[in-house]
Chains A and B, each alone.
Chain A
């Protein structure tokens, strides 16, 4: 069939676009060519490649290869096998004097890390399950959304509990272990059922997965396994992890109480469980990455369940996410909190989309928050938003985008503009651009913000005239969500307030610098005092 002019134009343009940007990218990243020309792990690739291909063929029952049952134990075994194989292949270059005892040591420590992390995950899931399952409507969520929301809510409960314990200086092994085991024990029936499902029962893979989907899923497991080896270290390697995030976890364990200063450190508090309960830096570092693993489920759920994308494409998207060098860096070097934040943010999106798809009433005529179901969702959604904010304040980016999207979806198009204008103006007035130090380059940011805010009021008035009930409804819903999202943040604000005397609102939100602070005046004064003392002697 002949090409139309536009199709021909697109082909030429896309070849130019891809070509020039590819050359530019390749020029700026010599590492990719070096990676290919110096690739050394051919044996390793061949062994794992064969296993992956066999796995793909067996699951799709090609070439009469019988389907191999896969459960959690098999995945665990594959994980350990990859770690040992990788260690063995690496040692061909390192030439360290290793025997079976050393490999057994690696298996022991790796298993300890994974089992302890599973206990933490189970605790979070159980805590969330106890709350969510009590609410009749939310109990029906099902699928990965249920898993994500329960685990996210559970982590919030754990963090708040740890915060309370830290406030009274009982962040020690026994109390923390009791906390971790309490929820699974209280919820023991579901704990047993969940663990059995996870470890023992055969996984039922979706029928839409093809050979390539299985292969990509296998490669994702392998990639995760080789990353895991980096957590088997006495300390993190990354600058920010050592100075800040994992350092906070270590300080919490050393002190047995909350550490003064710092921005809200919800996830570092969670990570500290590795040191406190299990005396293991490896568990601490693996807990920093656990959000990334949970995000796999979140991305898959968003793509397949809500966007109705081809599952095999979404599996490729999951792998591309994991293999993005900047994101992968958080798995192996910089154990920051951004993977945990990502998990909570994706959970928020999944819950929002679940809500919008399950709402039976017609939003055109009915209210956004109309019944008990809506209230239950909004409460959990608001709390998860607050949890995200307590992990990192810049989660405000998602809050902004989501509000604009929700207002628009709720038949309030002009109102969506209002929230965009108001949100942006408010954030400039709140000096959010000071965090990056960019405010100094804008000569009149205050006036620009006022102009945008005044425009937002104009839009609000127009929306009230044209979209009457909907704008009021959205304002109420937004106010409720904002109030709920502040709640998980309140303890951190109170902690910061207690530590600062006469501090600004910004300091109450972001905390003080915990490091030793000395101005040049203090240096000068101390020096003068020491000279005076020396003279007097």
Chain B
């Protein structure tokens, strides 16, 4: 009788929920998704594929760095290699669940491959459109992977466009399916408390972090401990079979390999921005620009010029008054006095985009800034590298910035670390520090303009 009442209550509430879903007005959002700065800045970690796949493929994307590359987002290869295998290892004593889980893993990795990327030998990330070119390349892994990825893409169906009304329910439902055996079948002990905590933490991380790894650092040590526990408790101490030896080599070997390569990678500390000078690869176990300071050879100003050539004089200029600063990227806030009250940050060019739409005359646009007490413009020349959007919205906006600054009589360049060639009136080629020239010799990272 009790269970019947419970069942009726459950149905009643769900019916109310469904009715309310149908009767409530459609919340169709008409935000400008394409120009949304969060899309450019935050979601570069999350990807731009179909919404449901974006969430589902997150563990793979984070581990393999599909969406965003760089050491600051790498977790190493061992977690994705071992964690899914761990459950398969434990399920080998159960019946059909073992094979079902293997099928689920294959299906999962197929979805991930269908939404993956190839990194070409020159370090750039290709979009899926370039897989054919990757297949024809001499690089064995590129051609193998692109064939696999293309095949996967042909199998995996398109689920939806960028928006839908069921992703939260699908993903939460999947979480509930994972929780069900844990909460009802798992033995009541501290290890399973940890596993449940990790499942809950990992679920919210998947839902709300947009793939930003440092929002969930706790996952890394907890997964390592869970791997250690569940592998260790799944074997018998007395076993010395082929299988037990294989599994020991597999689990221990992957972890030791990963540890070894993490150590080698840290000591070599390869910086791919130095690819034009590969002879310097492997030397920078410490940072060469702050090393002189740590050894007492340079002071703070000298170190600043070493990290960003010519910057110190611009910083001194900016610190000599309280003029406001229009900042597009860079991390120079730190060196500017009273920076919270003086710096207007427009890293993703949202404001600049709208101002440029309204004031097409570039000298007038600078006058608009000057009327709001802006005295300096700081530009990060690497701004387009943040742009992983398919439509390249940030790159287009940045081009407009350069167009405004080019030969604008209302601004004066006071510092940059870009070196360009230009021809003087006598036709001689010279190298100078400037943003614009006939040829870029050293790309540089920043430019500081003063508004006249």
Known contacts A440-B36, A516-B341; A314 and B228 CB within 8 A of each other: yes
Q: Is A317 an interface residue (CB 8 A)?
A: yes
Closest residue to B257 on the A side, CB-wise?
A22
* Interface-lining segment among B7-15, B403-411, B427-435: B7-15
Known contacts A321-B221, A401-B198; A527 and B351 CB within 8 A of each other: no
Q: Is A60 an interface residue (CB 8 A)?
A: no
Partner of A441, one of B163, B179, B294: B163
Contact A38 B270 (CB under 8 A): yes
Number of interface residues of A (CB under 8 A): 177
Known contacts A247-B339, A302-B225, A437-B39; A401 and B255 CB within 8 A of each other: no
Partner of A23, one of B51, B109, B141, B256: B141
Number of interface residues of B (CB under 8 A): 181
Chain B residues, Cβ within 8 Å of A526:
368, 371-373
Mask of B344-377 contacts with A, CB within 8 angstroms, 1/0: 1100000100110010000000011111110000
* Interface-lining segment among A190-198, A373-381, A426-434, A487-495: A426-434
Contact A356 B72 (CB under 8 A): no
The winner among B144, B165, B334, B354 for most chain A CB atoms within 10 A is B334
Partner of A442, one of B98, B165, B284: B165
Give the residues from 192 to 221 in chain B that come closer than 8 angstroms, CB to CB, to chain A: 192-194, 196-205, 207-210, 212-218, 220-221
Give the residues from 113 to 167 in chain A that come closer than 8 angstroms, CB to CB, to chain B: none
Known contacts A325-B265, A346-B221; A236 and B334 CB within 8 A of each other: yes
Contact A401 B201 (CB under 8 A): yes
Chain B residues, Cβ within 8 Å of A226:
266-267, 285-286
Chain A residues, Cβ within 8 Å of B89:
10
* A interface SS class: helix
Q: How far is the CA of A316 from the CA of B38 in the complex (A)?
A: 38
Contact A232 B270 (CB under 8 A): no
Q: Is B412 an interface residue (CB 8 A)?
A: no
Chain B residues, Cβ within 8 Å of A432:
208
Q: How far is the CA of A142 from the CA of B184 in the complex (A)?
A: 34
Chain A residues, Cβ within 8 Å of B440:
none
Contact B344 A38 (CB under 8 A): no
Chain A residues, Cβ within 8 Å of B192:
408
Contact A319 B294 (CB under 8 A): no
Q: Distance (Å) between the CB of B217 and the closest chain A CB?
A: 5
Closest residue to A36 on the B side, CB-wise?
B264
Q: Is B107 an interface residue (CB 8 A)?
A: no
Mask of A443-462 contacts with B, CB within 8 angstroms, 1/0: 11111111110110110011
Contact A413 B184 (CB under 8 A): yes
* Interface-lining segment among A66-74, A99-107, A179-187: A99-107
Closest residue to A93 on the B side, CB-wise?
B283
Q: Is A26 an interface residue (CB 8 A)?
A: yes
Q: Distance (Å) between the CB of A37 and the closest chain B CB?
A: 8
Q: Distance (Å) between the CB of A520 and the closest chain B CB?
A: 5
Chain B residues, Cβ within 8 Å of A449:
168
Q: Is A279 an interface residue (CB 8 A)?
A: no
Chain B residues, Cβ within 8 Å of A106:
294-296
Chain B residues, Cβ within 8 Å of A6:
92, 98
The winner among B88, B172, B256 for most chain A CB atoms within 10 A is B172
Q: Distance (Å) between the CB of A474 and the closest chain B CB?
A: 13
Chain A residues, Cβ within 8 Å of B266:
223, 226, 323, 325, 328
Mask of A316-358 contacts with B, CB within 8 angstroms, 1/0: 1111110111111110111010110110011001001100110
Q: Is B316 an interface residue (CB 8 A)?
A: no
Mask of B39-53 contacts with A, CB within 8 angstroms, 1/0: 100110010000100
Contact B286 A406 (CB under 8 A): no
Contact B29 A440 (CB under 8 A): yes
Q: Distance (Å) between the CB of B42 and the closest chain A CB?
A: 5
User: What is the total of A-B residue contacts with beta carbons within 8 Å?
Assistant: 525
Q: How far is the CA of A40 from the CA of B373 in the complex (A)?
A: 52
Q: Is A204 an interface residue (CB 8 A)?
A: no
Contact B229 A516 (CB under 8 A): no
Contact B286 A458 (CB under 8 A): no
Chain A residues, Cβ within 8 Å of B284:
90
Give the residues from 50 to 89 in chain A that come closer than 8 angstroms, CB to CB, to chain B: 86-87, 89
Chain B residues, Cβ within 8 Å of A329:
71-72
Q: How far is the CA of A34 from the CA of B273 in the complex (A)?
A: 13
Contact B36 A454 (CB under 8 A): no
Contact B285 A444 (CB under 8 A): no
* B interface SS class: helix
Chain B residues, Cβ within 8 Å of A424:
172, 203-204, 207
* Interface-lining segment among A170-178, A266-274, A391-399, A500-508: A391-399
Chain A residues, Cβ within 8 Å of B272:
30-31
Q: Is A293 an interface residue (CB 8 A)?
A: no
Q: How far is the CA of A1 from the CA of B445 in the complex (A)?
A: 63
Contact A27 B17 (CB under 8 A): no
Give the residues from 291 to 316 in chain B that come closer than 8 angstroms, CB to CB, to chain A: 291-297, 299-300, 303-304, 307
Contact A237 B163 (CB under 8 A): no
Partner of A454, one of B14, B199, B209, B229: B14
Mask of A204-223 contacts with B, CB within 8 angstroms, 1/0: 00000000000010010001
Contact B285 A455 (CB under 8 A): no
Chain B residues, Cβ within 8 Å of A406:
193
Chain A residues, Cβ within 8 Å of B228:
303, 307, 309-310, 313-314, 317
Contact B21 A219 (CB under 8 A): no
Contact A342 B16 (CB under 8 A): no
Contact A29 B190 (CB under 8 A): no
Chain B residues, Cβ within 8 Å of A22:
77, 81
Q: How far is the CA of A466 from the CA of B193 in the complex (A)?
A: 22
Contact A396 B204 (CB under 8 A): yes
Contact A30 B123 (CB under 8 A): yes
Q: Distance (Å) between the CB of A196 and the closest chain B CB?
A: 31
26 contacts between A and B (CB under 8 A): A6-B98, A13-B88, A27-B118, A34-B282, A90-B286, A102-B296, A229-B287, A242-B331, A246-B334, A325-B75, A341-B217, A397-B200, A397-B215, A401-B204, A406-B193, A442-B165, A443-B163, A446-B27, A451-B21, A454-B13, A462-B6, A465-B5, A516-B324, A518-B351, A520-B354, A527-B371
Q: Sort A-B residue pairs by CB-CB distance and give the 5 closest, nearest first.
A: A437-B38, A401-B200, A436-B210, A38-B282, A323-B262
**Given pairs A10-B92, A25-B77, A523-B368, 5 additional interface contacts (CB within 8 A):** A17-B81, A25-B63, A39-B267, A98-B297, A466-B2
